[in-house]
Chains A and B, each alone.
Chain A
Amino acid sequence: MNHLPEVWGRPRNDVYGAYDHSYLQGSHPMQHTQQPIVTGTSVIALKFNGGVVIAADNLASYGSLARFTDVERLKQVGTHTVVGAGGDISDMQHLYEKLLDSLIIKEEYQNDGHSLRASHIYRYLSRVLYHRRCKFDPLWNTILVAGWDDGKPFLASADLLGTTFSSPALATGFGAHLAVPLLRRVCPDENAVKSLTKEKAIETIEECMKVLFYRDARSLNKYSMAVITGEGVEQVPLSGEGKEKVHVEWKKDITLENQSWKFAEGIRGYGAQTV
């Protein structure tokens, strides 16, 4: 054995050649996330009279490879809220399993009859995203927060830049281009929410998921949907039973039915067609 302690346990130079120190050089500039790696595609959501419906498929892509087909991208946070994330899956898992879980556990410590509502979760998430972008180390996601808040349905979006906005019909990723126009047909503005039924809203979301599967090459024919419905506003605890009732109904592993690919023949513009 070599008598120099600093080389003990290291690959022997006479067998493996001299160690290439350039692998562990700390001299190059520090790099943060430059691009997402394993990604989820669109999340879509729509308000209706008495609630919100949100959906996202179960695919995590590695580039164009459909790498994982059983990923749940929607998460219930507390009693009032469902969050959906597109973009980097590992960042989404960090948000869901580290940040949001501990946020909710800390809220439960109080045991005071209050719980975080959708707008609180949304404000928290948008602050986290903006904080990370200010560190030039963004969490590479676009997020929709759907839920029940102060007697009204709640729906808003936040992204990796910290941009925040709200609308009765929202979609992230490819859905922002393909689904939003379809959603706006049934719900062009906040006033239209009152006349939109839960059944019609679900039907519209199902239709959008189908259109997205037809057109978005990073999508899957299996998806999850959550329907949040509510009644009333939160009451002051200890003053009796609260009047507010929030219910989250989950539908998982939904498969796209009644697909029709007839339209595919009419597509022009890519591939090897001679017009």
Chain B
Amino acid sequence: MTSIGTGYDLSNSVFSPDGRNFQVEYATKAVENGGTAIGIRCKDGVVLAVEKLIGSKLLVPGSNKRIAMVDRHVGLACSGLIPDARHFTSRARSEAASWRKFYHTPIPVSSLADRMGGYAQAYTLYSSVRPFGVTAIIAGMDEEGGPGLWMVEPSGVGWGYFGAATGRGRQAAKAELEKLPLPNITVKEAVKHAARIIYFAHDDNSKDKDFELEMTWVRHEKLATAESGEGIVKGWGKHEEVPKELVAEAEKLAKESMVEGGDDEEMEVEE
């Protein structure tokens, strides 16, 4: 960054002469230090997973959740500054609640992502505020579009994805996500992939730290079983934690694949 230190990075909403907004770029840096978060869009729902880095052994296991429920059918996983993420989540909840109150129907996932994009963007415009040090992955399932996966960045940009990754291990995670035949897998398959990818990304980037795997999904149980065959399942899904047994199984497989994966890599290096 050549223009750093030239004074154009001291205030929000100020462009540098070559057309960059440094405060936004610094916010993106903050995100790059956060624990990895990924989202996988499937034909019958969406899976969210985060690598929750544990700062102290004194913390109660399972506490300080990093994936939040925004509405019955929407979950939100964040990477970056946790207090910023909490505020962002709180805003997402208000948006979802006000949509319900106004239109008497749950908020479509795309509309929520759109509103949250607008909210994040507003924090790039004024010198009195700073951008969110957060990239949010919004996962949901609605009647119109079925499963939806969106990622909103500090700049306010928000795109829909088949597979999304952010945080420290995003490069490794993206590389793995690209290998999956998305969105043509089921949520149950994706749970295993998500666990494996989080373990892989952790191993790649923050091996020395403790972490907890946190996973939720959005799916419509009845529709998922009824239409287990072809096509995208449409309907208001339910956001909930992935059942403990499934997480345990996925983690076990993930750990096994780490051992094998390690060998593979060594072999590739030898070649």
Decide if B100 touches A102 in the complex (CB within 8 Å): yes
Interface flags, B60-84, vs A, CB<8A=1, else 0: 1111010011011000000000000
Chain B residue nearest in CB terms to A93 = B104
Chain B residue nearest in CB terms to A241 = B244
Decide if B72 touches A108 in the complex (CB within 8 Å): yes
Decide if A109 touches B100 in the complex (CB within 8 Å): no
- Within 8 Å CB of B222, what residues of A? none
What is the CA–CA distance of A98 and B60 in the complex, to the nearest angstrom?
A: 35
Decide if A98 touches B68 in the complex (CB within 8 Å): no
- Within 8 Å CB of A244, what residues of B? none
Decide if A97 touches B97 in the complex (CB within 8 Å): no
Interface flags, A96-140, vs B, CB<8A=1, else 0: 011001100100110100000000000000000000000000000
- Within 8 Å CB of A97, what residues of B? 104
What is the CA–CA distance of A111 and B62 in the complex, to the nearest angstrom?
A: 11
What is the CA–CA distance of A97 and B68 in the complex, to the nearest angstrom?
A: 23
- Within 8 Å CB of A109, what residues of B? 68-69, 93
Interface flags, A48-88, vs B, CB<8A=1, else 0: 00000000000000000000000000000000000000000
Decide if B101 touches A98 in the complex (CB within 8 Å): yes
B95 within 8 A of A: no
Instruction: Pick from A101, A102, A111, A238: contact of B69, CB below 8 A.
Output: A111
Instruction: Give residues of chain B (97-150) contacting chain A, Cβ–Cβ below 8 Å.
Output: 97, 100-101, 104
B63 to chain A, nearest CB (A): 8
What is the CA–CA distance of A111 and B76 in the complex, to the nearest angstrom?
A: 13
Chain A residue nearest in CB terms to B63 = A238
Decide if B71 touches A111 in the complex (CB within 8 Å): no
Count, chain B residues at interface, CB 8 A: 15
Chain A residue nearest in CB terms to B70 = A109
In which size bucket is the chain A interface? under 10
Interface majority SS on A: helix, strand, loop or mixed? helix
Q: A109-B68, A109-B93, A111-B69 are in contact. Are A101 and B62 (CB under 8 A)?
A: no
- Within 8 Å CB of A105, what residues of B? 71-72, 97
Interface flags, B158-174, vs A, CB<8A=1, else 0: 00000000000000000
- Within 8 Å CB of B71, what residues of A? 105
Chain A residue nearest in CB terms to B61 = A238
Instruction: Pick from B65, B97, B100: contact of A111, CB below 8 A.
Output: B65
B241 within 8 A of A: yes
A89 to chain B, nearest CB (A): 15
- Within 8 Å CB of B72, what residues of A? 105, 108
- Within 8 Å CB of B65, what residues of A? 111
B122 to chain A, nearest CB (A): 24
Chain A residue nearest in CB terms to B71 = A105
What is the CA–CA distance of A25 and B104 in the complex, to the nearest angstrom?
A: 31
Instruction: Pick from B62, B93, B104, B241: contact of A238, CB below 8 A.
Output: B62
Instruction: Pick from A101, A102, A111: contact of B241, CB below 8 A.
Output: A111
Q: A238-B60, A238-B62 are in contact. Are A108 and B69 (CB under 8 A)?
A: yes
The chain A residues found within 8 Å of chain B, CB to CB, are: 97-98, 101-102, 105, 108-109, 111, 238
Further 13 A-B residue pairs, CB within 8 A, beyond A111-B65, A111-B68:
A101-B100, A102-B97, A102-B100, A102-B101, A105-B97, A108-B72, A109-B68, A109-B69, A109-B93, A238-B60, A238-B61, A238-B62, A238-B63
* A-B contacts, 13 listed (Cβ < 8 Å): A98-B101, A102-B101, A105-B72, A105-B97, A108-B69, A108-B72, A109-B69, A111-B65, A111-B68, A111-B69, A238-B61, A238-B62, A238-B63
